[in-house]
Structure 1
């Protein structure tokens, strides 16, 4: 998987499926140079695609992005996580300088990134962990947890691979974290965040026609999996439709849009947008366009059971064992988190 710039990372979330069973806990670290109005280091924590944790080098403070996080944590939780982020900030600053030297680079915009975390299937109980590093938007080095070794993606990362492969303590520390500790934290967070993560909020749908485009915009929905269908005179439009990424809103909900490009001879007609979401029956809006004028807007819901198809990765809420409040940091140990390249 290509590692992308932090701003794009926030748009890469998992989807929900009616039979979903897979949960994920992910952290994204990004160090950068010479990016205007952007912190030199940012850390973001995501639970099932929802941001719950944030730190940057400007504030130098790890903070919750969801109220339920504090219910899972003891009073010193944020103090410990802030200290861990400060340590990672220093390590990443050194790492980006080291990697720049290996690529024979001096100034300019550069990023050094890390994505790590774990997944848990609450039906099969299968678990998995991942620890990946990227430089300037390309893979740099990846931990192969199954074989407990590193995979170098570039000649410049071979030095790092050899160094980490020979550090058995570092490898064993990663095995323990990703197979045990990370999974425990994932289950704890699912338990305490269930009231937020299990909610279902219907989308607000807007259908607009302007010049050579008809746009359907759905926003304010939760969870994030939706299917948008655009029709003209009752016929589903498959060509010339651009469906955008699912993006987060500041309140924890999501938005998505689909745009149909229409030729001059297609401007007239009845355009309908249907938005299917697991919160209830599909929502639809219809525009009746004649000679460039909108003659009517029809708003309604299909009286039927909503079946959301075509979604990609399953994420559902866990309603099982309870957990005590946390008495340590949920991030990796300093040795694992701050490993030098």
Structure 2
């Protein structure tokens, strides 16, 4: 459980800062060996914000945003619930297959799938990807340039050989990512515009436990989660003695992030140090000068409200989190699909067994 929560919290630090590119992503996660935890979960995200959720405990896909209920037909939830029930069984089988190939028996194991599309609303450029992971590492990647699969590990070679022969699956998924996915992304962006384009300016403060401790610059209460926090000395960005934390959710839908600077008091009192924050909500940089009057004493940890919010969000988005490694690598160029503007009906995609 703690491992799953950690993965979920890590996820929130992943974002394309201030990007004009919109994205529609789906992440599926099957797991085994975690007591009292759903064995299968899915999360759908638009521009990194969750809008649908399914898990094997509730056994129903549900909306995570109010606007999505207006964007889909009434039968959407029943239709996708039935699809996910079938996919759940598929993922259980794939975990067992992977365990055999890796010569594993007990322990905690996860099998993930992450696929989606992107659209630049200024240039019209589109792209798509579809990849699978096992225990947090790449397992197999669909390459739509060659209409074949890439197997990063030898245990995935049998799957590659099997799926390479399944032209209907590869062509069907390519069509989905180049046509259906793009059209529904545009539709979701249109319906969710007020939420997706909302901005909330961060509150920035400096904290320090004692004079010998690092100085922490904390930005909180901001939305969306894309943000850049840097330390500057005499107006020049610093890259050493700086530790930037992950972007974490607050309990109210906003986010927070902290950056620590290891610096001696005699140094910052004789030089000009400042914490500089860049966020979509502000045209200008938000800078706080490191001086005594701006430092708050921080004797405690995170407020309970923030802790509870982080845990709740982590549980809800654990399916996305276990795919964090896949998401980091989805920019490598594998599996980029072509472009299209063809209308089509949205549907969650299944895959053959490994």
Q: TM-score, normalised by structure 2?
A: 0.77
Superposed counterparts of 1:239-278, under 5 Å = 239-263=240-264, 265-266=266-267, 272-278=274-280
Q: Secondary structure at the match of 1:105?
A: coil
Q: Which residue of 1 aligns with 2:131?
A: 132
**Do the aligned residues in 2 keep the contact of 1:218 with 1:255 (CA within 8 Å)?**
yes
Q: TM-score, normalised by structure 1?
A: 0.79
Distance 1:271 1:86, change over 3 A: same
> Matches of 1:233 and 1:167 in 2, distance apart?
60
Q: Which moved more, 1:73-82 or 1:257-266?
A: 257-266
Q: Which residue of 2 aligns with 1:229?
A: 230
**Do the aligned residues in 1 keep the contact of 2:219 with 2:257 (CA within 8 Å)?**
yes
State the shift of 1:249 in Å: 3.8
State the shift of 1:185 in Å: 1.0
Q: Which residue of 1 aligns with 2:20?
A: 21
> Matches of 1:251 and 1:84 in 2, distance apart?
32
Distance 1:94 1:82, change over 3 A: same
> Matches of 2:68 and 2:280 in 1, distance apart?
25
Distance 1:12 1:164, change over 3 A: farther
Higher strand share: 1
> Matches of 2:286 and 2:195 in 1, distance apart?
23
Unaligned runs of 5+ in 1: 290-295, 300-312, 314-323
Q: Which moved more, 1:251-260 or 1:71-80?
A: 251-260
> Matches of 1:208 and 1:192 in 2, distance apart?
40
Unaligned runs of 5+ in 2: 1-5, 297-330, 332-342
Q: Which residue of 1 aligns with 2:353?
A: 340
Q: CA RMSD in A?
A: 2.7
Higher relative contact order (CA 8 A, sep 6+): 2
Distance 1:194 1:204, change over 3 A: same
Is structure 2 residue 285 aligned with structure 1 residue 288? no
Is structure 2 residue 117 aligned with structure 1 residue 118? yes
Q: Which residue of 2 aligns with 1:56?
A: 55
> Matches of 1:250 and 1:329 in 2, distance apart?
31
1:170-208 CA distances to partner (integer Å, 9 max, x unpaired)? 112112111111111111111101011111210122210
Higher helix share: 2
State the shift of 1:285 in Å: 3.6
